A = this chain, B = another copy of it.
Amino acid sequence: MVPNLITALTGPLSELEERILEAAPIIERWLRMEWMEHTPPIYATTRIHNAGFKLCALDVDLFPRGWQRLSADTISQAVLAAQSVIEKLCPEARRLLIVPENGVPDADECASLARLKTIFQMTGLDVRYGSIDPALSRSVELRLPGEAAPAQLVPVERERTRLMAGSFDPCTILLGNELRAGSPGILEELPGQYLQPPLQAGWSVRRRSRHRSYYMDAAKRLGKLIGVDPWLLAPLYEAPEDKGAGALEATRGAADALLAKIRRKYRTYHIMERPCLLLASDAGPRSAPVHTIYDARHITAAMLPAHPLLQEGVPTRERIANDAAEPWVYSIDRYIVGAYYCQHSGDSNEMCSVATHSRFVPMNMAENASILRPAAGETNRFYMHGVIARLALVAASYELEATDPEWQAMQQDDD
């Protein structure tokens, strides 16, 4: 279920929101059944655009940062979820190692690392930081907000089949490094330790188009269950194949076709918006630029990443002080644990980015975190965000299964 966070929404419920609230028992049961068969990512941030007529997850980060931006009153939710994941993963655990991005973490990342440490420490684990950065030859002191003594970021080493941070021998390794350069040997084959998320969540393996395809599958199944056109829950997308000299033409062609599809959908639903696309990199990383495209002819060669992905733009209609506000929803395992808005003054189709002039506004817990349905008082207007974020988690669980080398080997054995 979803904590009752205070959103920026004030108007009446949209038809889609009404439908999702009504169908809560069906949705929750469907999710419970999914989690019997599939394993959600250990943690994630899901970015959502709510157009009113349509509500979609646009991207899922499997190495979430920014934990410090969550409202402090949500920490106990995160601790409960972390407790549940540790019980499942490694109940005998005593020690957890957090592996951040390479390099020396800046103040923002230190704050996020400190919050993550707090969460897992409160489940009773001894939590330390270790770096897989080959350029780091000795420990670095990290100034964590609220802590008197600095923490150590220790270069990890391999002792036969175990990853060690000095003498610290972790049971669980929480990866916060999106492995842009591929999966380093030092993390491979750790039979006695739990590495989460698994290596195939790294950007040398992950493809946004693969996620989109599983997300569309999941949206179709959920849409059927609750009687909603899956398009209202999922963006259309296209990953142009041609990588050579014809890449620009191929991408423009694909963009034209995708814009035409969206236009048809808009006509069906009497939507007066101008169709829009996002041009992103299919292969990460988190920081890769995302271009907002209204006309295929505006796509230039300079915009094209090695692996382009075209994705339907969905305007976000949530607003803070007249700015576009994009919900970033945090989860641990199958639990939604908090959220904040990324607020920016640009185009509402645009993806909010830390680089653009954006501001983060935490969503606080509602004082009376009580009731789901308006009949009984206050509606949890964050519920629909929680549903869509978990739809993205279902898709991510399929994605991580499909790219799991062990799972692939098993499938081949079956053939």
The answer, yes or no, to whether A406 is at the interface (CB within 8 Å) is: no
Since A31-B124, A36-B91, A146-B371 are in contact, a sample of 10 more A-B pairs with Cβ atoms closer than 8 Å, ordered by chain A residue number, is A26-B124, A28-B124, A28-B125, A29-B94, A32-B86, A72-B368, A76-B77, A146-B376, A147-B375, A148-B375
1/0 per residue, CB under 8 A from B, across A72-90: the answer is: 1101110111111011000
Q: Which residue of B lies closest to A127 (CB)?
A: B25
Q: Count chain B CB atoms within 10 A of each CB in A28, A147, A148, A368 and give the residue with the most.
A: A28
When chains A and B are docked, how far (Å) is the Cα of A82 from the Cα of B87? 16
When chains A and B are docked, how far (Å) is the Cα of A155 from the Cα of B338? 41
**Which of B124, B370, B371, B376 meets A29, CB within 8 Å?**
B124
The answer, yes or no, to whether A250 is at the interface (CB within 8 Å) is: no
Interchain CB contact under 8 A, B24 and A124: yes
The answer, yes or no, to whether A403 is at the interface (CB within 8 Å) is: no
When chains A and B are docked, how far (Å) is the Cα of A4 from the Cα of B78? 12
Q: Chain B residues with Cβ under 8 A from A81's Cβ?
A: 80
**Which of B83, B92, B375 meets A1, CB within 8 Å?**
B83
When chains A and B are docked, how far (Å) is the Cα of A345 from the Cα of B92? 44
Interchain CB contact under 8 A, A77 and B80: yes
Q: Chain B residues with Cβ under 8 A from A407's Cβ?
A: none
21 contacts between A and B (CB under 8 A): A3-B80, A25-B94, A25-B125, A28-B124, A28-B125, A29-B91, A29-B124, A32-B87, A32-B92, A72-B368, A73-B365, A75-B369, A75-B370, A76-B365, A77-B77, A79-B369, A80-B80, A80-B335, A84-B84, A118-B376, A146-B376
Q: Chain B residues with Cβ under 8 A from A82's Cβ?
A: 1
1/0 per residue, CB under 8 A from B, across A27-71: the answer is: 111011101100000000000000000000000000000000000
Interchain CB contact under 8 A, B84 and A118: no
When chains A and B are docked, how far (Å) is the Cα of A368 from the Cα of B364? 12
Interchain CB contact under 8 A, B122 and A372: yes
Interchain CB contact under 8 A, A25 and B80: no
Interchain CB contact under 8 A, B72 and A370: yes
Q: Chain B residues with Cβ under 8 A from A32's Cβ?
A: 86-87, 91-93, 124
Interchain CB contact under 8 A, A91 and B33: yes
Shortest Cβ distance from residue A21 to the other chain B in the assembled complex, whole angstroms = 11
Q: Chain B residues with Cβ under 8 A from A118's Cβ?
A: 370-371, 376
Interchain CB contact under 8 A, B91 and A369: no
When chains A and B are docked, how far (Å) is the Cα of A121 from the Cα of B126? 36
The answer, yes or no, to whether A367 is at the interface (CB within 8 Å) is: yes
